[in-house]
Every structure is written in structure tokens, then in C-alpha cells.
Structure 1
Amino acid sequence: MGAGGGGANLPALRSHNAALVLDLLRTAGEAGISRLELAARTGLTPQAVSKITARLRAEGLAAEAGRRASTGGKPATVLRLVPAAAYAIGLHLDRDELTAVLLDLAGERVAVRRAPLDLGAGAEPVLSAAQAEIAALLAAGRTGSRAGAGGDSGAGEGGDSGAGADGAPDAPGAPDAPGAPGAPDVPSGPGTPAPTVPTAPTVPTVPTTPDILGVGVAMPGPLDHLAGTPGRVTGFPEWDGFPLREELERRLGLPVVLDKDTNAAALGLALRPDAPGSFAYVHLGTGLGAGLVLGGAVLRGGRTGAGELGHQTVQLDGPPCDCGGRGCLEALCLAALARGDLAEAARVLGTGAANLVRLLDIDRVLLGGRAVLAAPDAFARGAREVLAALALPTPVDVVGPRDTVAEGAAHLILAPVFGK
């Protein structure tokens, strides 16, 4: 990543009209788009478009992509987005794994790192691990290595950091693994004030430059998207009220946005060119949840509580769930997975999907998450059978890649640049 790009403080990135133009440049891709086409599709005057594109070019966000033959007059100059002008980091804090990705301005993956994580180890080891992986991610991105379709930054298939979820050793220079002996715990419990966590001196400094727009963080809910604080994460109540966004901003020196893992994934999927207008992204990994998109926008709810699919009660006298309820979809689905009953897990997942279809009349159900991607055909078939038995014609598809949540987290930073 060079120094010639832009940054979060660029005036061009704060303009609504510039965002409209940037979005059209993004969707046009390498082929580019002319100023006259930009004016026609935005409703802006040609003069306004010329001023905006001149500013975008001066800031390094746009460049000429050649000329297009004209039916009359001189050939039109075609402009394109400059993907290397700016970057965003996406961080997925799962219950047992951390994934960090670096996306360029066009949303293409540049680098990725993964490491084992114990979300229940407390804020200090989790945030130290995140800080170390982000520093390593940026170092990898600056080597000039570029990921293609599915390409990653590290050695080996998937480009993991050497600290993979399979128990491989931590990356050099990383802090002690979360949950390791000597890792400090964060006090928790009713009445316990949210702790202020000091920066661990052994954690590598994150090399920030103006071309890094910020860090999007996705983690299990519930949480408060606006306040930037987790709630009582199912199974890990010690995170309740912790100032995660504020603390990461202090450590990293970058803007941070926090959202639920399912919302982040749904946002990234909604930005794809072929995205349906309304859909549910149903994620089954270490937990079960849903990201909801209605009218092209993510539905979070006033308290970021929308999409808690896993904690719908479907069996009044069912097994207890870590959320405090009984007979929750998540508890039933994870129990079926634990005993190796894929058909039952898919049936439970399909039941939750059917509930969403009946409630919201969505166009499509998209399945994802680690458990689904391990057996995509079984889950897609099981969910489709449940919907078909209820005469619900909504299509069901499995979506990837594995890092959908982490990439969606990066889009928490990128999407506002394009007015999304």
C-alpha cells in the first residue's frame, strides 16, 4: 500500500455526491465509466460531475481508464476507481478463532490472517491478539502480495497466519495465546464496572497511515452497534458493557466500527452486484444467528437486537440454552451437530429459516458459517425440504467464502465511503 492514496479525512469521502460517483466507479470496475454517464446516472449536472471527478483524481481515488469511441464529437474519457487508494480492515472475533482481512477500496481481498482465540479469556488477551494480528496483517499487505480470487497472504492453502484454528503455533511476535497460563482475566459479574485495559507492551505497534480508513469489528451478539459495546455475549457475560470500540481505537489509532457478526456478513453480501433486495443470511458456526436485509439495507433494530434467530424458542420444554432460555434453535441445532446428526441440524436450521420467511416475506435465504460450509449440500437440502413441506417457495442457497463475516466487517468501513 503506497502513500499516494487517500484516507479517512479526505474531503472527497465526506461528500454525498462524491459518494454517489465513487459507487458508480466501483460498480463499473476496470472498464470504467464516462463523466456523461456519471451525470446521467446520478442526476448531477456535467459541471458538478467534472468538479467531483477532478477532486477524486487529485486525491488519487480515481484515474483515467482510456477513451471510449464517440458517435459524434471527441471520444469520451473513461474514469475508474483506484483500488489501491485506500484500505479497510475487517476483524471477526469468533468464540474460538480470530480472522483479520485487508480489503482494498474496491472490496477485493489483499491479505488475511487467522489465529485461535478464546473469547472467554477476557478483554486483555483478546484485544492484544487482535492488535498483533492487525499489525501482522498490515505488514503482509505492504509486501505487495495481492490476493486474487480466494487468494490469501500467508503460506499454505487459505493463507493462514501460522496460528491456525487447528492449533498451529502463534505467529512470531504475537502475545501469549488467549487463555494461556498467566493471561490476565477481566473481572465480571453484576455491578462490576467496565474495566479500562492498558496496552500490553509486548504487542507490536500497528503501522497506521492515511490510506487505512479504519477497522470494522464483528463478533457474536447481543451488542450495541451505536455505542460500540458488546452485551452479554451468549456464554461470555464478562463482555457485557465493555467499551470495545473505544479501547480498540485507543490501541490502534484508527476509527473502529462494531457490529454483530451476522449483520456484518449480511452487509457484505448486500453489496454484491447480484444481491437480492431482501434476504436472510443464516449463519451457523459456533452459534446460530441471522443477518436481515430488507429493501437493500441491513435491519439492525433500534437496539441492534434484530436477527437473534438462534434464541427463538421452538420447544417449550427443550434443553437449556446459555442465553437463559430453553428449547432455543441454537441449542437444538448445536446439540444435533455435536452428536453428528447432520439431517436433524439441517431440519432445525430450516425451521428457523421458515420462521423468517413467514415473518418477513423475504426473497431468499442464504446459508453460511463454518458448520454449513463443512456440509453445504446437507444443509441446503435439509432447509429446502422444510420450506417445501410448508409450501414456501423461497430459494435457499449456500454462500461463501469462509471469511464472509470478516470481509463484511471491512465493509462496515468501506460502505459509507460509497453512500451505503
Structure 2
Amino acid sequence: MNRSNTGANLPTLRSHNAALVLDLLRVAGERGISRLELAERTGLTPQAVSKITARLRAEGLATEAGHRASTGGKPRTVLRLVPDAGHAVGLHLDRDELTLVLVDLAGVTVASRTAPLDFGAPAAEVVAAAAGEVAAVLAGPDGAATGPGGAEPGPRTSAPGSPPRAASPARASRNVLGVGVAAPGPLDHLGGVLHRVTGFPQWDGFPLREALAARTGLPVVVDKDTNAAALGLALRADGPEDFAYLHLGTGLGAGLVLGGAVHRGARTGAGEFGHQTVALDGPVCSCGGRGCIEALCLAAVADGDVAEAARVLGTGAANLVGLLDIDRVVLGGRTVGADPDAYVRGVRAVVGERVRRDGIGAAVPLVTTAGGDRPVAEGAAQLVLAPLFGRVGGGTG
């Protein structure tokens, strides 16, 4: 994700170099990686790597994972990341549903919850509900909360306006680094402030990051739902690439990854995919415009016409391919998750036809699916974890 692969042997860049090493440990997984390999891949001296790994081991972030045969001399000691040395909460605030995941440093989900949500309710009530679910996912038995069907109801927060809760024992035992929040846009991801969310203008100017941090006692990072999902997907990629994540659920939006980095735009406005006009005299959209692709797509979904919804979605995807020449289109959201094969087929057909007709690029971009809403919540957790590994695209609380 848009970062240098070369370290620098300077004291002022100690945290940068540690992040490089941590990221390589993360990517290596259970197999681990030797100090020599770390030095070769980062460009750091073996001495610098030894100091960094000693500090990471002392902090409980890394541990020995056995030995590997050497081409000469004694076997090399292999190190690996300690996944449960830290955790992050990922929170997806949808218009009618709230999804949380608790992930470890390796990005593995160890707990999850889903609950109904009325995003049109007063902001204080939405924040209180979100904070209560965060407390619940942290208090679950051994982190095994699985949602309404398999978890006991979590503790609720105090009334709006009351002092912040003290950190729970569950938080302390898990070393929770923070909460990443994925919310509908538009919003200011640096300030953590929502703007005029389509259909919910009452959120305009609400300091979501500040309010949720006060309720949970945890650092909070906020970004658009589609950007969060795109970040999570980019972190799993083998290398830098250009792709679009298209999310079809209660609305329609996009997250863009260009050159391996999330492209937010100057005001976090990039990716307002659902409100591109594709029919000048089309139906009125919730944004106030006419013929938006979101309005057409959701109308087809409401009619139960999956083929038409996929065709409309494919038209928008083809526009993105023609505009950005991207390598891949990833489909997600609960609507796509209900019939992923049909959406992949439909979008692939439209994009393929446009590419062949217009001669865009050498090949049809890959069209895949990321499943339902889970990638958004998982990506939200990565808003917290990504900076720890030196990955551009995360944020700070």
C-alpha cells in the first residue's frame, strides 16, 4: 500500500523501520521470517534488524517460531508476529444495521456482532447504541460473541451526556488499539466529522469520532464505508494494483484503490459512485437528482429483478473501467451477498462488452465478489491497524 520497501538506518526513522519489519512479520504469517530475510527485504543492516526485533519481542509483538536450515553455518532463527498481542474493533454503521468485528494483529476476526440500527435516530442515540455494541463485543466470552443468534446481550452505555466509561477489563486484557468506524459519506475522514449523508442530512457537521471516543474511552478513526472496505482488500493484495470496490446494500457506493493506495479525493468525496447520472429523465433519487445509478439499481432490486440490477451496476462499473483503466472490480454489500454469482456474471458481461467495443486496455478486468457486509467492518478495523504496519491509508485517533 503505497509505502517504500526500503528502510533507513537513522534514529529518527526508528518507528518507520519497526513498521517495515512488523509488516513483513505480518505477511509471513505462521511460517515466520528470519532476521537475514528481514534485512534483505527492508534494506536495513543486520544490526538494525536485530535491535528492532529485540524490541518487538520485548513488547510481546514478535516471538521465535523455530529454525530454518541455512545454506551455511548454524540454522537461522525464524520470527513471527504474535497476533493476539493487540486487537482492533471494526464498526460498520449502515442505514439500518450495525456490524462489529474484533480482529487481531494478523487481521483475523476473533469476534463479531450484528444488531439493528436506525441511522435516522438522534445522533446521541446512534452513538450510544454503537458504544454499547463495542462494549459487548469486548466483553464476550473469550471474544466469542457471534451476534444476536449466538451472543448474550452486551452491556449498555450510560445515558447521553454522561462521563466516558472507564476502560473495561476485556479491553485491557486484549490490548485494544482503537475503533475503526465505517459510515455512509460524505464525511471528513481526517476530522472524523460527518457531512450531509444522503437521506440523513441531520448528520451534517456531527463530530462522530469525538463522540464515540468519549463514550468508549478508545481512540477512534472514521472513514467512508466503501473506503474502509477498499483498504482491507488492498492490504490482502499481493502488490500494488488499481481496483474499484462497489458496495450495493441500502445504497450504492464505491471505494477506489489506485496504485495500491485508497483514493479519497481532496475532501473524501471520491467514490460517490451511486450518484452518477445514467438516465437524464430517470426516476428521482434520494439525493435530489434524477436518473442516478443508485436509484435505478435499487428500483430493480426492489422489483426482484436481479439481472436488471446487475446490468445497471455493470454499466456503472464499465464507466469506471473506461475512466480509470482499473485491473479489477470487486462487488460487495448484502444485496450482492444474497446472489453473488448472478451479480458477478451480469457485471462481467456488461464490462466485457464495453471493453471489447471500445478497445479499453488489453483484457477485460477481473470481476470478483467480496461477499456481504463483513468486508466493510473488517476494513474499518484496518483503519486502526494499518498505520502500525506502515501502511498508508489508515488514520490516527
Question: Is it true that 1:136 corresponds to 2:136 in the alignment?
Answer: yes
Residues 92 and 100 of structure 1 are in contact (CA less than 8 Å); yes or no, is this contact kept in structure 2?
yes
Runs of 4+ in 1 over 6 A off after TM superposition: 11-14
| Alignment partner, residue 100 of structure 1 | 100
Is contact 1:13-1:417 (8 Å) kept? no
Work out whether 1:326 is the aligned partner of 2:324: no
Greater per-residue helix proportion: 2
1:214 matched to which residue of 2? Answer: 178
Residue 71 of structure 1: aligned partner = 71
Deviations 1:59-79 (A, max 9, x none): 000000011111211111110
Matches within 5 A, 1:23-172: 23-140=23-140, 143-144=141-142, 153-154=144-145, 159-162=146-149, 171=153
Corresponding residue number in structure 1 for 2:246: 282
Query: 5+ unaligned residues in a row in structure 2: which ranges?
Result: 1-10, 392-397
Alignment partner of 1:198 is 2:180? no
SS in 2 for 1:314: coil
1:68–1:175 CA distance, 2 compared to 1 (3 A): closer
Q: Which amino acid aligns with 1:57?
A: R
TM-superposed deviation, 1:401: 5.4
Structure 1 residue 320: Cα displacement: 1.1
TM-score, normalised relative to structure 2: 0.89
Q: What is the deviation of 1:395? A: 1.7
**Partners of 2:128 and 2:215 within 8 A in 1:** no
**TM-score (normalised: structure 1):** 0.84
Shift in alpha-carbon separation, 1:49–1:352, aligned structure 2, 3 A: same
Cα distance in structure 1, aligned partners of 2:270 and 2:286: 19
Q: Does 2:194 match 1:230?
A: yes
Q: CA deviation at 1:99?
A: 0.7
- Unaligned 5+ segments in structure 1 are 1-10, 146-152, 165-169, 177-183, 185-196
Call closer, same or farther: CA 1:303–1:329 in 2, change over 3 Å. same
Report the Cα distance in structure 1 between the residues aligned to 2:268 and 2:205, rounded to whole angstroms.
Answer: 14
Q: Tell me the C-alpha RMSD between the 2 structures.
A: 2.4
Match of 1:416 among 387, 390, 393: 387
Change (3 A) 1:13 1:330: farther
How many Å apart are 1:131 and its aligned residue?
A: 0.9
Q: Are 1:265 and 1:281, in contact at CA under 8 Å, matched by a contact in 2?
A: yes
Q: Report what 1:189 is aligned to.
A: none
- Is residue 116–residue 163 contact of structure 1 (8 Å, CA) maintained in 2? no
Structure 1 partner of 2:394: none
Percent identity of equivalent pairs: 69
What residue in structure 2 maps to residue 187 of structure 1?
none
**Is residue 2:274 matched to residue 1:307?**
no
Q: How many residues align?
A: 372
Q: Which of residues 333, 341, 347 in structure 1 aligns to 2:305?
A: 341
SS in 2 for 1:283: strand
The answer on whether the counterparts of 1:94 and 1:220 sit within 8 Å (CA) in structure 2 is yes
- Asked if structure 2 preserves the Cα contact closer than 8 Å seen for 1:222 and 1:230, the reply is yes
1:384 and 1:243 mapped to 2: Cα distance? 40
Structure 1 distance, partners of 2:248, 2:372, is 14
CA contact (8 A) 1:134 1:206 kept: no
Is the CA contact 2:133–2:154 (under 8 Å) kept in the aligned structure 1? no
